[in-house]
């Protein structure tokens, strides 16, 4: 009888499972978005760079292939950190205002460019999860093109929302353009990435359920962060609760 894996082994396997997905390549960009702010760009870029190097190193130590997105992460954040220290105060202020849009447009270029090069950025991660015999099958290729395209659309939506907040509203802290719309785009792409490849494909409710949950914290934020009239916040909360009940009923 085979011995049960040790807690340390189970923990390492869990970490490995997380590292095998494209979210690891996107994690440094998420860190940048969360940490950056007035006077914090250098810290944000430094943390994102450290995380990028760590992920690449761990992949190599685990015998995994070096990912295009991982390499771009290291190059981008190293360049961002260097440019920050080369700029004067006015340049640093400009960079702090627009770094979110720069990052999102860079991700759009990466996603679209990888598809044009016939190597969707998700495919390197997917190949390590399936047998080589499936790598060139139409279904495997279609799944990766579709998922990469969805991520490209999410990055573009986030870039447009951020630009509107900074350039039109002149408010980089706007709840809607700086958080709600951008988070919605990322959440949809993330959930779609888990839902779409399944065979047989789960019901649409499996895709929508986490998005329904998301409506509730948005409503709470509207009420607590002055993101709109009170009725709007309560509407979001009620819609989230009703959507969850409806989706559970349809399961």
CB of 184 closer than 8 Å to CB of 214: yes
Q: Give helix 68-86 / helix 23-35 axis angle, nearest 10°.
A: 20
- CB burial string 214-234: b at 16+ within 10 A, e below: bbbebbebbbeeebbeeeebe
Which pTM value belongs to this model?
0.85
Cα–Cα–Cα angle for 112, 108, 184, rounded to 5 degrees: 125
What are the distances in angstroms from CA 135 to CA 110, 126, 150? 21, 9, 20
Q: What does each C-alpha distance from 25 to 53, 64, 73, 106, 134 come to in angstroms?
A: 11, 14, 7, 13, 23
Of 215, 248, 213, whose CA–CA distance to 234 is shortest? 215
Calpha distance 197→122 (Å, rounded):
12
pLDDT at 251: 58
The secondary structure of 52-101 as a DSSP string is HHHHHHHHHHTTPPPPHHHHHHHHHHHHHHHHHHHS-HHHHHHHHHHHHH
Whether the Cβ atoms of residue 151 and residue 122 lie closer than 8 Å to each other: yes
108 in Cβ contact with 152 (< 8 Å): yes
Q: What is the pLDDT along the chain (251 residues), one digit of tens a residue?
A: 455 566 655 555 555 555 666 788 889 998 998 888 788 899 999 999 999 999 999 988 888 888 889 999 999 999 999 999 999 999 999 999 999 999 999 999 999 999 999 999 999 889 888 888 989 999 999 999 999 999 999 999 999 999 999 999 988 888 899 889 999 999 999 899 989 998 787 888 888 888 888 899 999 988 998 888 899 999 999 999 998 888 777 55
User: For the chain, first and last CA: distance in Å?
Assistant: 39
Tokens found for residue 112: 């679209």
Which residues have C-beta within 8 Å of that of residue 235, sequence separation ≥ 6?
A: 219
C-alpha distances in Å from residue 15, one per residue of 18, 20, 69, 197, 233: 5, 9, 19, 22, 37
């Amino acid at each position: 009888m085979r011995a049960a894996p040790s807690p340390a082994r189970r923990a390492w396997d869990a970490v490995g499972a997380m590292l095998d997905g494209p979210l690891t390549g996107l994690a440094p960009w998420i860190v940048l978005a969360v940490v950056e702010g007035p006077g914090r760009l250098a810290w944000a870029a430094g943390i994102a760079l450290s995380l990028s190097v760590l992920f690449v190193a761990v992949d190599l130590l685990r015998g995994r292939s070096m990912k295009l997105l991982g390499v771009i992460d290291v190059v981008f954040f190293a360049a961002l950190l260097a440019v920050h220290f080369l700029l004067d105060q006015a340049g640093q202020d400009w960079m702090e205002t627009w770094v979110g849009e720069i990052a999102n447009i860079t991700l759009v270029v990466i996603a679209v460019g990888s598809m044009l090069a016939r190597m969707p950025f998700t495919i390197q991660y997917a190949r390590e999860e399936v047998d080589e015999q499936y790598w060139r099958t139409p279904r495997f290729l279609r799944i990766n093109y579709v998922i990469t395209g969805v991520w490209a659309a999410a990055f573009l939506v986030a870039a447009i929302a951020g630009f509107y907040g900074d350039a039109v509203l002149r408010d980089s802290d706007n709840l809607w353009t700086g958080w709600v719309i951008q988070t919605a785009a990322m959440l949809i792409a993330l959930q779609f990435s888990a839902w779409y490849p399944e065979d047989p494909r789960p019901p649409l409710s499996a895709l929508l359920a986490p998005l329904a949950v998301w409506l509730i914290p948005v409503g709470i934020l509207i009420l607590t962060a002055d993101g709109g009239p009170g009725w709007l916040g309560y509407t979001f909360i009620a819609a989230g609760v009703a959507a969850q009940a409806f989706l559970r009923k349809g399961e």
